[in-house]
Amino acid sequence: MNIQLPHSILQSGKHLLLSGSKSESNRALILQALFPELTVQNLSTADDTLLLQQALTSHTEVVDIHHAGTAMRFLTAYFAIQQGKKVLLTGSPRMKERPIHLLVNALQQLGADITYTEKEGFPPIYIRGKKLTNNEVHIQGNVSSQYSSALLLIAPALPNGLTLHLEGEVTSLPYLKMTINLLAHCIGQEQVSFKANTIKVNTMNGKNLLHNSWEVESDWSSASYWYAFVALSPIGTTLSLSYFKPHSLQGDSALKTIYEFFGVHSSFKGNELTIEKVAEPQQKRFECNLNATPDIAQTIAVTCVAMGLECHLTGLHTLKIKETDRLQALQTELRKLGAEVSITHDSLHLAPCPHLRSGISIATYNDHRMAMAFTPLMLKTTLEIADKEVVSKSYPSFWHDVAQLTVKR
């Protein structure tokens, strides 16, 4: 179902409690499945997290994770070490187009028994769980940090631990560090090391966790849309968000710095984050390498087009293997609004857009972030968002929150 968004304003002074981070939640759930004594609070309510929970407790031989890319990667590694368990891991048609061969190859280096059932290098995959005694593996670091995280999360449960060598430039490094920091919290700082491009994780070998509880921080990726709303609002507009940490594990907390360019200031009082529009942009061109934070590229591009700014974003090569080819989708939908957009395999350039077309219908391509990234445009014009239900993948209450915090002009 599509949703019509009227030209609106964001109400100032409101407060919003956001669900736990999907990225943190999914990592914590894998560790909890391997070490049941671990308790996890403030789990994400996103579809991806619910699908992962269901898969981890499933007793069926076929596990369908639909569009959940993180679940596909993490479960591939998890099921590979479940001795005696046989699983066909599959997903949506788009999931079957998203490569997984780098992770499968790495697991096979460790001794895993995994075969492709349709197209070589892509899901579905058939996994026969077994004990993996090899403990050293090489993997490309510049494709998806989720491959590396999937391997690291099972490392404490491997009989000989794991030494992981990352080859080339490491993409989405904050997400990799999130995994490492969560492991260090649970099993001990001395059990995990990251030097140069080599990560070592020691085996737990039946030992108890150092810390057996974890509280998930709210989701900075979800906060990004509200940063855009505030950026497109009048000076003096404020919005408070909870539960956030000044020193976050999440890469998208870089929003605090990035959105200073757009005149948005961030401040903390305990675990409450207040964002305020304090100024208009002082420059007409925004340029940023988002190699570490590719998930906020769509939101930033839409913010720039709404503010009439020139924009040049790089480090976007992973966007082509997300829920959709996000670079192509961004180009197509921004052009509908009247923007001049050019893309390469890893960059996007946006010329200043002096006027936004009204009443445009934005296609979402089964991609939750396309739907939510374009929504703040309702502060500038009327528009329609297609397939509004897609937001449930990461932020199920998004449309409720939009309705509560905005008022028609």
Catalytic residue positions, numbered: 295
In degrees and rounded to multiples of 5, residue 324 shows phi and psi of: -140, 175
d(CA 49, CA 185): 21
Whole-angstrom CA distances from 273 to 15, 178, 248, 257 are: 10, 20, 12, 14
Q: Bridge partners of 41?
A: 215
Whole-angstrom CA distances from 292 to 69, 80, 250, 298, 393 are: 18, 28, 10, 14, 22
